[in-house]
Structure 1
Amino acid sequence: MAQKAALLPGSCHPNWVAGMLALLLCMRFSFCLAETTVRDFRIGWVMANPDGNFDRPTIGINGQWPIPQLMVTVGDRMILNVHNDLGNASTSLHFHGLFQNGTNHMDGAVGVTQCAIPAGGFFTYDILFEQPGTYWYHSHAEGQYMDGLRGAIVVHDPNGPYEGEYDEEIVLSISDWYHELSVDLIHQLINVENPTGAEPVPSSALINDTQNLKISVKPDTTYLVRFVNIGGFAAQYIWIEGHSMRVVEVDGVWTEPAHADMLYITPAQRYSVLLTTRGDISKNFALVCAMDEDLFDVIPDGQNSNVTAWLVYDATRPLPEPQPVEEFEAFDDFGLVPVDRLSIFDHVDYSFSLTVEMDNLRDGANYAFFNDVTYTQPKVPSLYTSLSVGATNASNPIVYGTHTNTYIFRRHDVIELILNNGDDGRHPFHLHGHNFQVVHRSGENDGVFNPDDLAASDFPRVPMRRDTLFVEGNGNFVIRFRADNPGVWLFHCHIEWHMDQGLIATFVEAPEALQSLQVPENHFEACRAARKPTVGNAAGNIVNVFDLKGENRPPGRLPEGFTAKGYVALFFSTVAALLGMATIAWYGLIDPDIKDISADRQLLVNSEGD
């Protein structure tokens, strides 16, 4: 049961003038409505069958699944007491898109800002909702959000730019769904038997964690519809037959209205649209989500990559089958203009490049790389390293490990990140702790970004901002943001499979300003329960923080010239050889009399054949 304690810093005052002033302040800043809510979340296994095809263990909260959507107002505070009742797995919660300014230790990224909450463990998240918009929360451990530990967050803004322009609100999560547990699928993915790195294909698609959803609507009514892709792999095309949409928010940033007939939403992205219903109720309409099958290496027999919901004007009328679509023509978000019209950061203090690659390592499995480095989680969470090695040492990327792709940013600098995709698939990249300006995004197969190809005048003067952006296959993008949030923040692909394969970088921002951060004791208790160190460098060394002996490492690199195809041939040749030797050994153990009988039978068969 939720416990609520109202915070009313502008409540009634005995002096009428002062009371009116307080009321005006309340109306202007909405802090009179702010609440502190204390909730207990018991994370544990339940059984679920959202696509009607397969019962499977699913991660719920307080014995329920889907897990709660969190509905709050700007200024609200939520204290979540999390109990891990999974029994066989550790866990965490990440509040995707929330900046956690001043509360980096509440970001929920395992191995970065905390240790995982062990089975039977307890952990408290203290979250202040300061940003209006659409967000979500999910486990940031072992791919668990694909097992169901994910839900939408809506932060309402009574003073938002579109208040009064819509009558009601609809929140729709979209996702892919697997019939197997994520821990098993990760093992299948990163395995010598899958040297090409082919990702597991989802079993089905869901809307609000179900299928055949019916959405009751009224005629001549404007709805603010919030779409959240809480899936682990598949981007989805979304359209509503007989209706058009006006995009007004992406990833928590209000935008000037932009017409759209079809959206393309990658995992972790969010869109809010204004949808005005038709004037008559003579017909119901299909809302269709279609997983982007271009992402799948193989499409299994019988695969249904679509899921349909309906806008129901009249429950007595039939639900129409969706009409075929000849071609996906999705809205291009690049031209979106934020309502606040923040100009492009035209002075860059630090610019660097990350190049995406997918390749095999010595164990034969396929991994993902930034600049030839595949992320490997350090023994000490990177935030704890920053807080324990001293301010000067915390500004040296070496202490965070050889395999964490760590970059150090000075406070308030404008950072420019150039991302070049050396892979032929799309990747959605998410930055913790910030949203960013999208100053350039290439088309497919445009290759490496060349600054000489674009003048400053080619960049948008008021660029779109968001926190998750996809790069085209063999394409590139350029983003900029201000380093105004001291902390340790991840930048990673939000396709869960690629994150598990190592497509992660670590950004340490203003480490000298981070030193005053006070981490609650129960955070360290989680580490002790899991026997994880909380001080020292990435290897847990506190004597010489530049000595990384014993740090976690990935498998070694392949010998020069060795390819994935070579591994396939080697693997199956080895299997064949082992089977051959096993057969010889088995035959050698057979009793001689049995061998004679077998030989006599073979002679009989041969003679009958003649």
Structure 2
Amino acid sequence: MSAMTTEGAIVSRTLIIDNIYPYSTSQKPIVGVNYQYPGPPIEAYEGDTLVIRVINKLPQPTTVHWHGISQNGTQDMDGAVGATQCAISRNGEMTYIFKASPAGTAWYHGHHLDQYADGLIGPLIIRRKVEPNQQYYDTERILMVADWYNELARTKLLSWFLSTNNPKGIEPIPDAIVVNGKFSESLFVPTNGSKRIRFRIINAAAFSMYTFSIDGLPLHIIELDQTPVEPYTVSSVVINVAQRVSCFVNLDEFDQSLVPAEVPPTKSIYIRFQAMADMYPVDIRSYRAPYATPRYPYPIYFNPLFLGILSLDSKNSLPTYPVYDERIGSRNPDSEDINLLGARPFYRANNIVPDATHFLKLVITIGPDSSNISRAYFNNVSYGSDMNRAGQKTTNKKCLTSDTLPLLHQMAMTPNGLGIPSPIMTRDSPLLVIQSDGNGHYLIPYGAVVDILLENRDEGEHPFHIHGYEFWVISTSENPQAEELYRGAYLQRDTVSVPGSGWAKIRLLANNPGAWLFHCHIEWHMDAGLIVAFIVGPNALLAQGYKITPIQKRMCQ
């Protein structure tokens, strides 16, 4: 850990990770945080120092990743097993200490043994001293949406997914949707008399992307991931896995025509999360998972619509208007651009986009390996798998020089001996091209400005997240004109949605040395190997003062 100066307050929290059984109708253990699901919100102001003691009471190792936090100067606090640390052992603990930065709607989740799909999630809100767009809302609510599976991800679901019994690579289909730990029609969100409300929406699903809307109310988007934007009005918005959207609503804008004249005025409004049915590889209306444990004498299929209730009074009554209305029941998002590149950054003067100096093309494919098990590939490499394509040998899997030490430790121990080629000039690009070791590790010089082209040859949409950074989203196959249209004022995010059979172009300023994972945030695709590791500036890491701490060394013994 590098030396870290303390500017703001010190915010201390203790998180106990343990199995819980929050639902009387289910015997499935949830990985809870402080015996809650989702875990408790953690809040701080930008610049504060977070000191979070994580105590592992699970029968398995664990870790916590602080999604959206840059960890500049605290690279070993990122929580990615194999990249920045070894796992927290059973009955062990680790104290994470890091700067609350950047501001915005972040979250935390497990990053080991599919524990995030099994419940290890929670909100992490980093507030600004002066919030942009604060004048438009008086209160705020968090909505954390997730997939619910009747079976455990880390055992039953994963063992079926990556097996010869599933040669088509069909991902486990959710059994339900939960928001703030509640199932459909059981979540009541009080307004407490406020008419202007900010919603912080976090997609913590393992697989699903959703269209979010509130009946009869326009949504005024004011933050995408952790980037504040000028208000951008839509009637609904698509949010992919790991993305966050903040919007405000004004109840005075409610469309009263939704309420039939013959019924009493409504004292509540439906909140809708509609799972995108066409993203699933099967017909969810009739699919029966081969691994499912029969629970009833008749099949119950996944309902892709979650209904919450925005309660306008304290009675938690249901809306008086029909649930299904042709004006709201099948609403499509206003924009086909899921990344909302048309939204403009709030702080344009500070959003200086440098010209690219380097280039990297990552081709995304999914298909069977030589054992007929479905794998996911970046440039024909499935991270951590022996079964890579094109006859490539994988003498090193998740490692560069060691099969037991995190990548970050290896960078510190042998900064000039990692075996990854330096960037080279090629005939295909006017920029220096980033190289890899053939095992999913890419060496990026400190200070490089890298244009990354994500070419998706899979039919499915993929949400790609980077640790330790935000990148500029330049353009996508849904919005190719954005590169010219918004030149000099591109939108920054940490998760980009790459269209099926399409592409996305992002730009990364490599000013944070370390070992940073870049991966699809669909949990099943991570399990299948859709990950690369960016090894940024090993010597810059040491110059910054990074040293492997005795605690980190003990965790790896």
> What's the TM-score once normalised by structure 1's chain length?
0.75
Q: Distance in 1 between matches of 2:25 and 2:93?
A: 34
In the aligned structure 2, how far is the partner of 1:53 from the partner of 1:442? Answer: 44
CA distance in 1 between partners of 2:334 and 2:377 (Å):
29
Letter in 2 for 1:307: F
Looking at structure 1, the residues matched to 68 and 481 of structure 2 have their Cα atoms a distance apart, in angstroms, of 30
Contact 1:224 1:274 in 2 (8 A): yes
Q: 1:299-346 CA deviation, whole Å, 9 max, x = no partner? A: 135321111111111344433553252342244412111111155735
1:194 deviates by: 0.4
Match of 2:170 in 1: 198
Report the RMSD for the aligned CA atoms in angstroms: 2.3
What amino acid sits opposite 1:182 in the alignment? A
Evaluate the alpha carbon distance shift between residue 507 and residue 401 of structure 1 in structure 2; reply closer, same or farther with a 3 A threshold. Answer: closer
Provide the aligned length of Structure 1 versus Structure 2: 484
Where does residue 490 of structure 2 map in the other structure? 463
Contact in 1 for aligned 2:475/2:483 (Cα 8 Å): no
State the AA in 1 paired with 2:309: W
Distance in 2 between residues matched to 1:350 and 1:128, nearest whole Å: 29
**Aligned equivalents of 1:222 and 1:386: distance in 2?**
49
Q: Are 1:293 and 2:255 an aligned pair?
A: no
1:310 aligns with 2:286: no
Counterpart pick for 1:519 among 548, 551, 554: 548
The aligned counterpart of 2:333 is: 329
SS in 2 for 1:154: strand
Which residue is equivalent to 2:222?
248
Specify the SS of the correspondent of 2:411: helix
What is the CA–CA distance in structure 1 between the aligned matches of 2:9 and 2:242, rounded to whole Å? 27
Between 1:159-168 and 1:499-508, the stretch displaced more is 159-168
Q: Which moved more, 1:155-164 or 1:207-216?
A: 155-164
Report the 3-state secondary structure (helix = DSSP H, G, I; strand = E; otherwise coil) of the residue aligned with 1:164. helix
Q: Secondary structure at the match of 1:393?
A: coil
1:375 correspondence with 2:410: no
Q: How far, CA to CA, are the matches of 2:206 and 2:485 in structure 1? A: 34
CA displacement 1:376-406 (0-9 Å, x = unmatched) = 13322111111111x32247359x9956411
Q: Which digits, 9 at most, give the CA deviation of each residue in 1:256-290, with x for residues without a partner?
A: 11001111111110011111113897431100101
Residues 295 and 425, structure 1, Cα contact 8 Å, conserved in 2 = yes
Map of 1:339 onto structure 2: 346
* SS class of match (1:118): coil
Q: Whole-Å Cα distance in 1 between the matches of residues 313 and 189 of structure 2? A: 11
Shift of 1:177: 0.9
1:48 CA displacement: 2.4
Q: Residue 130 of structure 1: CA displacement?
A: 2.5
Q: How does 1:584-595 map to 2 (within 5 A)?
A: none
Does residue 263 (structure 1) correspond to residue 237 (structure 2)? The answer is yes
Per-residue deviation, 1:353: 0.2
Could you tell me which residue of structure 2 aligns to residue 97 of structure 1? 68
TM-score (norm 2): 0.82
Unaligned runs of 5+ in 2: 1-5, 255-264, 288-299, 385-397, 423-434
Cα 1:456/1:263, change in 2 over 3 Å: closer
What does 1:355-434 align with in structure 2 at a 5 Å threshold? 355-376=363-384, 377-378=398-399, 379=403, 380-389=405-414, 391-394=415-418, 396=420, 404-434=439-469
SS in 1 for 2:134: coil
Pairwise CA distance, 1:156: 1.2
Amino acid at match of 1:291: A
- Select which of 505, 511, 514 maps to 1:484: 511
Distance, in Å, in 1 between the alignment partners of 2:486 and 2:451 is 13
1:9-34 residue CA offsets vs partner (Å, 9 max, x unmatched): 9xxxxxxxxxxxxxxxxxxxxx6xx4
Q: Distance in 2 between matches of 1:159 and 1:62?
A: 31
Q: Deviations over 1:49-103 (max 9, x none)?
A: 2xx753310111233333111121122222122221112x111000001100011
Following superposition, the deviation at residue 123 of structure 1 comes to 1.4
Report the residue type matching 2:417 in the other structure: N
The alpha carbon displacement at 1:292 in A equals 1.4
What amino acid is aligned across from residue 151 of structure 1 in structure 2? G
Residue matched to 2:3:
none
What do the CA deviations read for 1:359-390 (whole angstroms, capped 9, x no partner)? 1112220000000000013322111111111x
| TM-aligned CA distance change 1:442 to 1:311, over 3 Å | same
Post-superposition Cα deviations, 1:101-135, rounded to whole Å, max 9, x if no partner, equal 01110000111001111212221211220221000
- Kindly tell me: are residues 403 and 106 of structure 1, through their superposed partners in 2, closer, same or farther at Cα, counting changes over 3 Å? farther
Please give the alpha-carbon distance, in whole angstroms, between the structure 2 residues aligned to 1:371 and 1:54. Answer: 41
Looking at structure 1, the residues matched to 233 and 302 of structure 2 have their Cα atoms a distance apart, in angstroms, of 32
Q: Deviations over 1:467-491 (max 9, x none)?
A: 1011111000100021111111111
Secondary structure of the 1:210 match is coil
2:84 aligned with 1:80 = no
Find 2:187's aligned residue among 213, 227, 235. 213
Once the two structures are TM-superposed, the CA of residue 159 in structure 1 deviates from its matched residue by 1.4
- CA change 1:46–1:397 in 2 (3 A) is farther
Q: CA 1:327–1:221 in 2, change beyond 3 Å: closer, same or farther?
A: closer
- Does structure 2 retain, via aligned residues, the 8 Å contact 1:226–1:271? yes
What SS does structure 2 have at the residue aligned with 1:356?
Answer: strand
Does residue 127 (structure 1) correspond to residue 82 (structure 2)? The answer is no
Structure with greater helix percent:
1
Identity %: 31
Q: Which amino acid aligns with 1:417?
A: I
- For 1:420, what is the secondary structure of its paired residue? strand
Q: Give the Cα–Cα distance (whole angstroms) in 2 for the partners of residues 519 and 467 of structure 1.
A: 27
Tell whether the 8 Å contact from 1:81 to 1:125 is kept in structure 2 after alignment.
yes
Relative to structure 1, the CA distance from residue 152 to residue 510 in structure 2 (aligned partners, 3 Å threshold; closer, same or farther) is: same
- Greater gyration radius: 1
> Aligned partners of 2:101, 2:352: CA distance in 1, in Å?
23
Are the structure 2 counterparts of residues 318 and 84 from structure 1 closer, same or farther at C-alpha, using a change threshold of 3 Å?
A: closer
Tell me, what secondary structure is at the counterpart of 2:21?
strand
